[in-house]
Amino acid sequence: MLPITGYADRWSVRQGERIDFNISVLGGGRYKARVARVLCGDPNPKGPGYREVPATWAMEGEHEGEEQPIHLGSWVDVPGVVLPAGDIGFSATLWPTRLAAGQQAVLSFASTAGSLTLGVGPNGAYCRLVTPSGEQTLETGVKLTERAWYDIACDLTGGTLALHQSAHRPRLDRQESAACSAASTAMLGGAGAVAVAADRSTQVVRAHFNGKIERPTIIAGAQKVAAWDFSQQMGTDTAIDTGPNNYTGRCINLPTRAMTGSNWRGDVHRWTEDPAQYGAIHFHDDDMGDAGWHSSLGFTVPTDWISGVYALHLDKDGARDNIVFYVRAAVPGSQAKVAFLAPTFSYTVYSQYQKAGRQAMITERSRAWGALAQAPDGHPEYGVSPYNFHSDGSGVGMASMRRPLIDKRVNQIHLIDPSPDGSGLYWISADGYVTDLLTRKDIAFEVITDHDVHAEGAALLSQYNVVLTGQHPEYHTTETLDALATYLADGGRFIYLGGNGFYWKVVPHYEGPWSFELRRAEGGIRLWETLPGESYHAHDGSYGGLWRRLGRPPQQLVGVGFSTQGEYNSYPYSFIDGILNPRVAFMREGMEDLATPGAPLGERGLMGGAAAGHELDRADTLLGTPRHAIIVGRAVLTDPTFQPVNEERRDHTWPAKREDIIRSDLTFMETPNGGAVFSVGSMCFIGALPIDGYENVAARLITNVVRRFADPAPFPKPPPTDD
């Protein structure tokens, strides 16, 4: 656990609205808190430096802290179960995935009189009966096979405890059973649990199950007590009991639903067509949903805090953390007609990206630079991200913002930059270059977030003449893409300052976008892929995967789309003939002699050493780039680490030429009704902005684009000759 950390209940808050911060102080004790508006998130002393403006805040000062626990692992909580006295039986069907982890509970009940647990472990199925006279455990002693289906059951009948285990066809393993005499007892009111041991007297659940469970059932003699059907309401956290007592359960920590069950035949891939084939939930011992911390500091944002990027800074005896939040104007567009759109969906999905070795890599430099020195691989206690595997080897498909997002901070680096003076940034710290540029160029702006666009749609975007992205706006809902498309169709202007944007679909939790579900279906650069039959989201039944595979390639929206990925190395762009097109004359203003075909831009940068790097996007009319789009500059990379993304490589002969795919295109296009888009198509581009005090060619180009795009004068329709 970090000495001090926390999370906010929201990413953005309007002036005059309340925000709550849930903070944990290890061991409790007093801590200091202050708020600042962040100008630049980069701690690199060879860059612009971490800079902020202190905010006047009534709660600034010392506060009494308390430790708030975090418990990984998903399960189903069923409080208030009453077992009748006498014979009792538990059963379930399961697909175990991590037997080496030890004994794992599948179905469990506990009361003050005792407990009964049915589970699996390294030696096959087991059951454990605890009564006032002692504890008895049975094991079949016959090992299970991971990722195969079994029925297991135990029953306590007439003073005998018996255990059964049998494999489903086509596996033809022996049926196994075990029995012993047991002291039967009456265990009346208590709590039931699926996928975890139910003894919660210590408030800590244990023995988390890894794998799929379906149809956990409790019987008493010939009577059904409870039978949970996970194929019902699988878009929610509710576990429906089809038995007579309505023992409805609640899923804790976001286990994955809409998973193929033991009866899945392969003929149905969309669970909504036959939910009965999707009666399984996949539980993991490292799932993390809502940490459930209570508010430590809650306040109403003063109306004189201008819209911007803010951080709550925490200090406990010299140990620090900061929690980033975005202050919006009380009335959108009232403060400025330029908006920075913080990619809070992507920040959330990327949170807790545990990359082995990063903590060790960044610690020394972070301390030397006065930056936060925390990395997710050094703090696995806060869970994993969809860029990780669960402990059982399955891909992580759920993301949550109701937990400390310890790598989404300001004044934080994420790797040792391969370039000598580079900063090694991603995400929030990197995106500070965009707001720093606007501030230094005296361009007034407001901030809004993906969460706001999801909730308020094109009506919000329409309050601004121009909207700018950050480095990596990768994850989008149908709602955010629709809002952006509508905004552009209505004459809005958009500057996409990143790479690999608008790429994957996410579906928010059914109660709202505090959590996201993603299905890594079909193609795409991805560390894991959805299993057969599991490409449809549980929350809304829609198909998941790449927006390109869903008929909405990024080129349709912003003119360019993901094409190549390589190491965190960057290279210069060159202007090409398009820069001389009179339609983009505004881009050359004040640097007509520098912005000419063949002249370089972005030769230096703080992210990988230049402007074109890491993940690059290209224009392609076949994928939706309008024919009238103008490419004003291009970088074609020869670095061998840069390879086509999966969806750009069809067989061993394609792509025939590197320059077809391994490139980034600086692309401009007018949109209907006087709007326009400018896209850079590189993850590292914004790292070139701060060079020479934001007075280099790349920074001046972007400044010219922002100024023209902020001007309400409509862009003329492109002449047909340019089409």
Applying CB under 5 A, the residues found at the interface with Fe ion are 474, 500
Residue 260: CB minimum distance to Fe ion, A: 28
**Considering the complex, what minimum distance in angstroms separates the CB of residue 489 from Fe ion?**
27
Query: Judged by CB, which is closer to Fe ion: 162, or 525?
Result: 525
CB of 472 to Fe ion, least distance (A): 6
- Name which of 460 and 683 has its Cβ closer to Fe ion: 683
CB of 342 to Fe ion, least distance (A): 16
CB of 184 to Fe ion, least distance (A): 57
Q: How far is the CB of 500 from Fe ion (least distance, A)?
A: 5
Q: How far is the CB of 562 from Fe ion (least distance, A)?
A: 9
Of 343 and 533, the one with the shorter C-beta distance to Fe ion is 343
Residue 503 Cβ, how far from Fe ion at the closest point, in Å? 7
Q: Which is nearer to Fe ion, 387 or 571 (CB)?
A: 387
CA distance 156 to 460: 62
CB 50 to Fe ion: min, Å: 24
As beta bridge partners, residue 476 has 505
Name residue, tokens 């696995």: 380
Q: Pick the closer one to Fe ion by CB: 11 or 475.
A: 475
What's the rounded Cα separation, in Å, for the pair 616 and 560?
A: 9
Burial class (CB in 10 A: 0-12, 13-18, 19+), 561: buried
Least spacing, CB of residue 461 vs Fe ion, in Å: 23
Q: Which is nearer to Fe ion, 452 or 615 (CB)?
A: 615
Q: Which residues neighbour 664 within 8 Å (Cβ) at sequence distance 6 or greater?
A: 499, 560, 573, 612, 616, 617, 618, 634, 635, 680, 681, 682, 685
Q: Given the complex with Fe ion, which of 241 and 474 has the nearer CB atom?
A: 474
> Residue 285 or residue 431: which is nearer to Fe ion going by CB?
431
The residues near 298 (Cβ < 8 Å, ≥ 6 apart) are: 18, 19, 20, 21
Query: Which region, left, alpha or beta, applies to residue 692 given φ > 0 means left and ψ of -120 to 50 means alpha?
Result: left
Question: In this complex, which beta carbon is closest to Fe ion, that of residue 182 or of residue 645?
Answer: 645
Side by side, which strands form the sheet with 4-8?
4-8, 18-25, 297-300
Rounded distance, CA 37 to CA 25, Å? 24
d(CA 640, CA 490): 42
The number of angstroms, rounded, from the C-alpha of 268 to the middle of its chain's C-alpha atoms is: 28
At which residue do the structure tokens 């808050």 appear? 13
Pick between residue 335 and residue 500 the one whose CB is nearest to Fe ion: 500
Min. distance of Cβ 41 from Fe ion in angstroms?
18
Strand stretches in 66-168, DSSP E:
75-82, 88-96, 104-111, 114-121, 124-131, 134-139, 150-157, 160-167
d(CA 115, CA 243): 21
Residue 629: how many CB atoms within 10 A of its CB? 22
Closest separation between CB of residue 343 and Fe ion, Å? 10
Which is closer to Fe ion, CB of 474 or CB of 522?
Answer: 474
The secondary structure element, H or E, covering residue 458 is helix 450-461
In the complex, minimum distance from the CB of residue 351 to Fe ion, in angstroms, rounded to a whole number: 13
Q: Which residue is nearest to Fe ion (CB)?
A: 474
SS3 percent helix, strand, coil of the chain, rounded to 5, is 15, 35, 45
Nearer to Fe ion (CB atom), residue 176 or residue 474: 474
- Give the residue with the Cβ less far from Fe ion, 314 or 645: 645
> Residue 200 burial by CB count (10 A; 0-12/13-18/19+): exposed, middle or buried?
middle
Query: Bridge partners of 564?
Result: 616, 644
User: Is the bond leading into 655 cis (omega within 30 degrees of zero)?
Assistant: yes
Cross-sheet strand order for the sheet of 507-509: 398-400, 512-517, 507-509
Number of Cβ within 10 Å of residue 484's Cβ equals 26
